[in-house]
Chains A and B, each alone.
Chain A
Amino acid sequence: MTRVIAITGKGGTGKTAIAALLIRYLTKGDRVVLAIDADPDTNLPETLGCEVEKGIGDMREFMLTQRDNLPPDVNKESIFESKIYEVLSEMPRYDLLVMGRPEGSGCYCYANNLLRGIMDRLVKNYDVVIIDTAAGLEHFSRKIIRDIDDLIVITDGSRRGLRTAERIRELIRELEANVRNLYVIANKVTDANKDKITEIAEELDLELIGAVKVDKMIEERDLLGLPLFDLPDDSVAVEEVGNIAKKLEL
């Protein structure tokens, strides 16, 4: 069975970094991963060290603009599926898909309906799917990906970050999204704020499954625009993400 994990959180909390490190952990552990960047501000490819030109959104747009030029009796789902495969970046042990371009003003009901079927089939080919997504959970409301095993909210030391987690809990209830578990990971934690974060999480009844300390190596790489995928094993963030993955039984 494919395990589907979505990673979200307030902007700037480092959700993309955590997603990249989880993918790093999984691929080193011989798992085949599908990484999906569902954040309109596409950062995951760069963080993984992978170049992506086009996304699912572009292909959806292609289907909309070209539909009257296609032969009338062709199977559009099969064309769309092939188009999605075209924008899949195939890397060693993981593939990457970018959602990219959002919907325009027309009707996307049919295209999204096709996309659901295509994604259902694609997802089954992987051991784990990691989705990096904005806190609005736009693609979940559209049910492009229907079932989430674990939704992980990344928070920083701020109360606002944890409030976001609380709001997301509400949102998944409202969206009737199929989410099995909700967890919180505290990121960029310092000795000064660690206890406070734990306290607030308990207060809000959120399950904290890890606290990633401020990592000098990540800061340096971020500054230089270097990918995080090839961080050394002794980076504090890599170590903690490894611990978290074990807790998640990945």
Chain B
Amino acid sequence: MADEFPFEISPMFEGERVRKDGMYVELAGPKSKGFELVKAVGMDEIEDGKFTLIGPDLSEMEEGSRHPIAMIYRVAGELVEPDLEAIVERRNHDFQNYIQGVMHLNQRYDIWIRVSKDAVKKGLNSFEQVAKATMMLFKNELPFIEKIETTYITDLAEAEKELEAAMESYKIRDERTRNLHDEDVDVFYGCTLCQSFAPTNVCVVTPDRISLCGAINWFDGRAAAKVDPEGPQFAIEKGEVIDAVGGEYSGVNDLAKSLSNGEYDRIKIHSFFEFPHTSCGCFEVVGFYIPEVDGIGWVDRDFTATAPNGLPFSTMAGQTGGGKQIVGFLGIGINYFRSPKFIEADGGWERVVWMPKNLKDKVLVDIPEDIVDKIATEEDVTDLESLKAFLIGKDHPILERWVEEEEEEEEEAEEAIEDIAAAAPGMMQMPAQAMMAGAVAPMAMAGGSGGGVKVILKNAKVSIDRIIIKKSE
């Protein structure tokens, strides 16, 4: 590739590790300090190909010694912008590993580099060689970089000083990435790692929705899909927006259909009740609909007692998992609570009525201030009656739904009972509206006084809680 260097350069060396036995020097790493940083700058601010070293060079370092290192790359080009810094910076890891005899681990302020004795023997004696090779690779592989200038710092005091400035850059970058939302990207990522357990489950990972296991965010999906597009994490073209609030996209629907073997063909990624996301068995938290209060409770894996609906996590997890669309239960990763689109289609946090104390504490700062005290925990309530009382006492916004419901009750009564009858065999798939609505049906009672009796079924599932018999007015 380049005869000017005393080492070979090839992706073939990427997995090469320099063992302690064969190490000439160690740079940065857990026992020293260092960082790598890419900064986008103006075209006239840098001199292309220039290398500056502050501190001792490789030839001045003793065999077996350890030193700090900071690597700062300033890049410029018409298409270079600050948004690209992270992506460019990430490639330093790849390119330095292409160099035979150089090992580069980790990233940012955790970099860990070793140079092998063999490489030094073959003529690698200056950081300039490494920097020039890296700069060459940057320009070859990322053609939008028109100019690049590099500074390496091996002096501890200087490196520490520059690290402070670098931390500021990382912070700004992190804020920017945290502000990335579903509408800002064209591609989501799918994960089928759990299909061995739940063959029809497809996890859709978006900037506003972490995987159910909580382990894979949108950036992780992007990184994995890039390395192995045929692997368990892959790109999903968003396609057309069908429902912006519920999070329904034609691309996701198409893929859902093929990957679930036709089990379902629509997914609304921010909806609890309508075409909800499926759940494998790995979810950290289960959301469960509580028809008695028309709200949603959430219970996590670590909570072993029973939720106000009388069920423990394990039972609800059994209902939720398996890769089916289950209306009434939803598996999520804890980080989804931090999403601004958290069950947006269903009212978001205003629909949440109960969480275990520990779980609530974990996401406390992410709960909107005006609702945080209105969400009950096991310390406040133990069953549905006390939950109801708590919600009324705290004037939870869910109460507004109760009022609406009562108003609708009379009008929709007959329709609702028909729905219930139809949906009753598949209890868990029952449309939520039918589950929550009270039902009223005129019935001829044997021995009744001539058709003047109304039977009201409240909260009817398969069994009936209550039958109220009223005299017709």
Chain A residues near B (Cβ < 8 Å): 32, 64, 67-68, 71-79, 81-82, 85-86, 90, 92-93, 95, 105-107, 109-111, 113, 121-122, 124-125
Contacts and interface: CB of A to CB of B under 8 A. Distances in A.
A26 to B, nearest CB: 14
A82 B216 contact: no
Closest 8 CB pairs of A and B: A107-B282, A110-B215, A82-B106, A90-B20, A107-B213, A121-B15, A73-B219, A82-B105
Interface in B1-51: 14-17, 19-21, 30
Nearest to B174: A71
B21 A110 contact: no
Contacts of B107: 74-75, 78-79
B219 A72 contact: yes
A159 B328 CA distance: 55
A86 B30 contact: yes
A86 B110 CA distance: 12
B316 interface: no
Contacts of B282: 106-107, 109
Interface string B281-295: 111100000000000
B20 A124 contact: no
Contacts of A76: 220, 223
Interface residues of B, number: 44
Contact of A95 (B19, B110, B215): B19
Nearest to A92: B21
A75 B227 CA distance: 11
A93 B213 contact: no
Interface of B: 14-17, 19-21, 30, 86, 90, 93, 105-108, 110, 112, 170, 173-174, 177-178, 193-194, 211-217, 219-220, 223-224, 232, 281-284, 301-302, 334-335
A67 B215 contact: yes
B174 A64 contact: no
Nearest to A111: B215
Contacts of B21: 32, 90, 92-93
Given A76-B220, A95-B19, A125-B15, A113 B105 contact: no
B213 A125 contact: no
Given A68-B335, A125-B19, A82 B177 contact: no
B191 to A, nearest CB: 8
A128 to B, nearest CB: 14
B170 A71 contact: yes
A109 B19 contact: no
Given A122-B17, A124-B15, A125-B16, A110 B216 contact: yes
B20 A110 contact: no
Contacts of A95: 19
Nearest to B14: A121
A107 B212 CA distance: 9
Contacts of A64: 215
B133 to A, nearest CB: 20
A110 B178 contact: no
B215 A107 contact: yes
A78 B284 contact: no
A90 B20 CA distance: 6
Nearest to A68: B335
B178 A72 contact: yes
A137 B51 CA distance: 52
14 contacts: A68-B214, A71-B170, A71-B173, A77-B224, A79-B107, A82-B112, A85-B105, A107-B284, A109-B193, A109-B194, A110-B211, A111-B215, A122-B17, A125-B19
Contacts of B93: 75, 78
A94 to B, nearest CB: 9
A201 B136 CA distance: 61
A129 to B, nearest CB: 13
A86 B9 CA distance: 26
Nearest to B110: A82
Nearest to A71: B174
Given A71-B108, A71-B177, A74-B108, A105 B219 contact: no
Contact of A106 (B112, B220, B284): B284
Q: Which of A105, A110, A124 lies at the interface centre, i.e. has the most chain B CB atoms within 10 A of its CB?
A: A110
Contact of B106 (A81, A92, A105, A106): A81
A36 to B, nearest CB: 15
